[in-house]
């Protein structure tokens, strides 16, 4: 039987507190000791990726204690309960089933009278069949012409994940001749967002996917209305251009105004929905269903590794353990995610939601206030760009910010140029290798302004190339990491009560039902 306990009630956690400051990262990462750590502190992931944690503030003793923490916190048992369909999301009384969209880690999960794995797989197959017809010109616009663009209308989890993965694979797909349609995204209720996107879209040949689990997301319905207006003004048949991705119980589900509807359900939180119909429809239309299937295979393979019960052989679990150690023992409130891959330009923005919305909680899963820090701030930009931007503070600022690098040996396009004796890809890889050592070891200098204290921990996930499988493995790794972090903090990582108050007050403003500061702020905006 699983026991859900607060982090600070666990003996193994209290033991960890005594290890603070015991690893001199600059020393252990220097010389042969550093080389040995890089060889030793690495774990295989799915799709040929490797998780290297050599430059983290850990040693064999701390790793042993982290493994004990994983056992005492019953991380594997909790994950097992989750993938077997237990009601993990207590506040909303829901199962948490996003892993079932890409595989079956445990036993059959029945809910609402259906086998949920079969349901998700069925949606994937429906989307695949639909996408193939679109690509083959069997489903066309009102004039019998092929569609060339797909536009996702969604916000939050219906936007960030699908957008990040589209950008991650767009150039790979072009290089591999499988870019079937261009994708665009409309998310913000700011009218300049839909207007700007629609200016660049050939409306007559565009398919729009309206994505809202509840079918009531105000931003999304508003933008749907924007698009319908534009289609009508262009003399186009709206129903030939609109798809829905929603839950079967939503008002959008039985609406004949859509060309087709594909389904997810309440067991999949928005920020974990990239592998469901939410990401599937737009990505299968853009890249073909085979590419999306490869992406899901990478996720499923990584999920299986996350189910490994040895914490030191489970990359997502170990990553979570080290990050909680950094957050709660070492006291670092921020983590930077730094992919050395331009294709991953919006991956940090997606993980920002996945992490901060999941674990930014002050109460445990039973609604009791916790006495320790939970969810961290996560931000990041691609390298080497970030080196020319905020790395100054990472290297020489007064706060230590743990770093998570991502890098690949090969570029996606494999087109390259040699300048000063090396290719661009070699320069990119040399930079990330250099940064990890610079952050860990620092450098003495007579001039204090040129001194680097070092002692700044980092990890890296390295792969051969950012393929669909690698992309899936990366995403599943982080989804599972955030889940394990939530288990350690004993919070419910699957609700988001913190988004409600703002919605309620915004409705009051729109209804002119305001007083005090709210009325004054509204009047500043002329409302």
Of 65 and 94, the one with the shorter C-beta distance to a second copy is: 94
Q: Which DSSP helix (H) or strand (E) runs through 286?
A: helix 277-287
Written as one string, the DSSP assignment of 349-410 is HHHHHHHHHHH--SB-TTSPBPSS--S-EEE---TTGGGGTTHHHHHHSSS---EEEEEESS
Cβ–Cβ < 8 Å for 16, 65: yes
Name which position in 23, 37, 109, 120 contacts a second copy (CB under 8 A): 37
Q: What is the rounded distance in angstroms from the CA atom of residue 412 to the CA atom of residue 418? A: 17
DSSP, collapsed to helix, strand or coil, labels residue 25 as helix
Written as one string, the DSSP assignment of 162-176 is HHHHHHHHHHHHHHT
The residues pairing with 264 across neighbouring beta strands, listed in sequence order, are 247
Q: Tokens at residue 58, please?
A: 């850990």
Name which position in 85, 270, 298, 402 contacts a second copy (CB under 8 A): 270
For residues 471 to 500, the per-residue mask of contacts with a second copy, x marking binding by CB under 8 A and - elsewhere, is ---------------------x--xxxxxx
Contact between 428 and a second copy per CB under 8 A: yes
Residue with tokens 């430059």: 55
List the interface residues with a second copy, window 171-200 (CB under 8 A): 171, 174, 187-196, 199
Least distance between a second copy and beta carbon 373 (Å): 5
Least distance between a second copy and beta carbon 201 (Å): 14
Residues whose CB falls within 8 Å of the CB of residue 239, separated by 6 or more in sequence, listed in order: 256, 257, 258, 259
Least distance between a second copy and beta carbon 249 (Å): 21
Is the peptide bond preceding residue 180 cis, with omega within 30 degrees of 0?
Answer: no
Of 132 and 395, the one with the shorter C-beta distance to a second copy is: 395
| Choices 99-107, 313-321, 416-424, 473-481; region in contact with a second copy by CB under 8 A | 416-424
Name which position in 10, 23, 29, 66 contacts a second copy (CB under 8 A): 29
Of 35 and 110, the one with the shorter C-beta distance to a second copy is: 35
Of 155 and 296, the one with the shorter C-beta distance to a second copy is: 155
| Choices 130-138, 284-292, 316-324, 373-381; region in contact with a second copy by CB under 8 A | 373-381
| Choices 257-265, 303-311, 317-325, 354-362; region in contact with a second copy by CB under 8 A | 354-362
Name which position in 60, 229, 310, 513 contacts a second copy (CB under 8 A): 229
Name which position in 349, 471, 473, 474 contacts a second copy (CB under 8 A): 349
Contacts 24+ apart (CB under 8 A), 11-18: 11/72, 12/65, 12/68, 12/69, 12/71, 12/72, 12/73, 13/69, 13/72, 13/328, 15/65, 15/68, 16/62, 16/65, 16/66, 16/69, 16/325, 16/329, 17/329
Contact between 233 and a second copy per CB under 8 A: no
Name which position in 155, 165, 210, 231 contacts a second copy (CB under 8 A): 155
Residue with tokens 């790794």: 477
List the interface residues with a second copy, window 432-461 (CB under 8 A): 432-438, 440-443, 447-453, 460
Contact between 429 and a second copy per CB under 8 A: yes
Residues whose CB falls within 8 Å of the CB of residue 462, separated by 6 or more in sequence, listed in order: 49, 50, 52, 406, 407, 408, 409
Residue with tokens 């305001």: 514
Residues whose CB falls within 8 Å of the CB of residue 511, separated by 6 or more in sequence, listed in order: none
Contact between 250 and a second copy per CB under 8 A: no
Contact between 234 and a second copy per CB under 8 A: no
Cβ–Cβ < 8 Å for 217, 251: no
For residues 375 to 404, the per-residue mask of contacts with a second copy, x marking binding by CB under 8 A and - elsewhere, is x-x-x-xxxxx-xxxxxxxxxxxxx-x---
Residue with tokens 């774990």: 43
Neighbours of 169 (CB within 10 A): 27
Least distance between a second copy and beta carbon 374 (Å): 5
Parallel, antiparallel or unpaired: strands 149-153 and 206-211? parallel
List the interface residues with a second copy, window 85-104 (CB under 8 A): 91
Name which position in 6, 16, 34, 76 contacts a second copy (CB under 8 A): 34
Residues with active-site annotation: 357, 388, 503
Q: Tokens at residue 513, please?
A: 């039902």
Of 61 and 333, the one with the shorter C-beta distance to a second copy is: 333
Question: Helix (H) and strand (E) counts for the chain?
Answer: 18, 15
Least distance between a second copy and beta carbon 289 (Å): 23
Contact between 361 and a second copy per CB under 8 A: yes
Residue with tokens 């690893």: 23
Of 125 and 520, the one with the shorter C-beta distance to a second copy is: 520
Quote helix, strand, coil % in the chain, to nearest 5.
Answer: 50, 15, 35
Site size with a second copy, rule: CB under 8 A: 159
| Choices 129-137, 141-149, 154-162, 477-485; region in contact with a second copy by CB under 8 A | 154-162
Q: Provide the residue count of the chain.
A: 527
Q: Tokens at residue 437, please?
A: 């050592």
Least distance between a second copy and beta carbon 50 (Å): 7
Q: What is the rounded distance in angstroms from the CA atom of residue 86 to the CA atom of residue 79? A: 10
Least distance between a second copy and beta carbon 344 (Å): 10
Of 51 and 130, the one with the shorter C-beta distance to a second copy is: 51
Of 32 and 235, the one with the shorter C-beta distance to a second copy is: 32
Least distance between a second copy and beta carbon 152 (Å): 13
List the interface residues with a second copy, window 294-323 (CB under 8 A): none
Name which position in 341, 404, 455, 459 contacts a second copy (CB under 8 A): 341
Of 1 and 419, the one with the shorter C-beta distance to a second copy is: 419
């Amino acid at each position: 039987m699983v026991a859900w306990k607060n982090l600070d009630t666990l003996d193994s956690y209290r033991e960890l507190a005594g290890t603070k400051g015991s690893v001199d990262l600059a020393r252990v990462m220097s010389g042969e000791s550093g080389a040995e750590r890089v060889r030793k502190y690495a774990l295989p992931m799915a799709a040929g990726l490797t998780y290297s944690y050599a430059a983290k503030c850990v040693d064999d003793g701390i790793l042993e204690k982290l493994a004990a923490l994983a056992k005492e916190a019953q991380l594997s048992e909790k994950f097992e309960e989750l993938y077997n369909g237990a009601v993990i999301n207590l506040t909303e009384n829901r199962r948490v089933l996003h892993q079932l969209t890409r595989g079956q880690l445990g036993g059959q999960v029945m809910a609402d009278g259906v086998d949920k794995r079969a349901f998700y797989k069925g949606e994937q197959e429906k989307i695949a069949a639909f996408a193939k017809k679109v690509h083959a010109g069997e489903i066309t616009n009102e004039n019998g012409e092929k569609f060339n663009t797909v536009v996702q209308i969604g916000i939050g989890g219906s936007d960030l994940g699908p957008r990040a993965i589209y950008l991650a694979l767009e150039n790979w797909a072009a290089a591999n001749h499988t870019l079937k349609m261009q994708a665009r995204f409309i998310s913000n209720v700011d009218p300049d967002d839909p207007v700007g996107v629609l200016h660049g879209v050939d409306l007559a040949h565009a398919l729009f996917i309206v994505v809202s689990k509840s079918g009531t997301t105000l931003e999304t319905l508003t933008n749907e209305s924007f698009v319908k207006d534009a289609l009508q003004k262009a003399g186009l048949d709206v129903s030939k251009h609109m798809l829905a991705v929603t839950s079967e119980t939503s008002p959008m589900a039985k609406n004949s105004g859509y060309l087709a509807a594909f389904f997810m359900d309440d067991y999949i939180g928005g920020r974990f929905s990239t592998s469901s119909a939410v990401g599937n429809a737009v990505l299968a239309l853009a890249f073909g269903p085979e590419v999306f299937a490869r992406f899901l295979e990478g996720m499923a393979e990584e999920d299986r590794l996350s189910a490994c019960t040895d914490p030191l052989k489970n990359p997502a679990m170990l990553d979570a353990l080290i990050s909680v150690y950094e957050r709660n023992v070492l006291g670092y409130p921020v983590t930077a995610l730094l992919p050395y891959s331009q294709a991953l330009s919006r991956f940090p923005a997606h993980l920002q939601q996945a992490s901060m919305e999941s674990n930014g909680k002050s109460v445990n899963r039973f609604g009791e206030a916790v006495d320790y820090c939970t969810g961290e701030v996560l931000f990041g930009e691609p390298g080497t760009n970030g080196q020319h931007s905020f790395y100054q503070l990472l290297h020489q600022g007064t706060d230590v910010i743990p770093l998570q690098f991502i890098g690949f040996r090969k570029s996606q396009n494999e087109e390259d140029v040699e300048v000063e004796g090396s290719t661009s890809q070699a320069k990119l890889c040399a930079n990330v290798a250099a940064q990890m050592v610079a952050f860990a070891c620092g450098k003495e200098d007579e001039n204090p302004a040129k001194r680097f204290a070092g002692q700044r921990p980092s990890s890296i996930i390295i792969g051969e190339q950012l393929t669909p499988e690698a992309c899936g493995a990366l995403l599943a790794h982080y989804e599972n990491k955030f889940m394990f972090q939530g288990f350690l903090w004993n919070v419910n990582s699957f609700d988001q009560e913190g988004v409600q108050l703002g919605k309620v007050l915004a409705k009051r403003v729109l209804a002119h039902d305001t007083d005090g500061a709210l009325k004054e702020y509204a009047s500043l905006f002329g409302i």
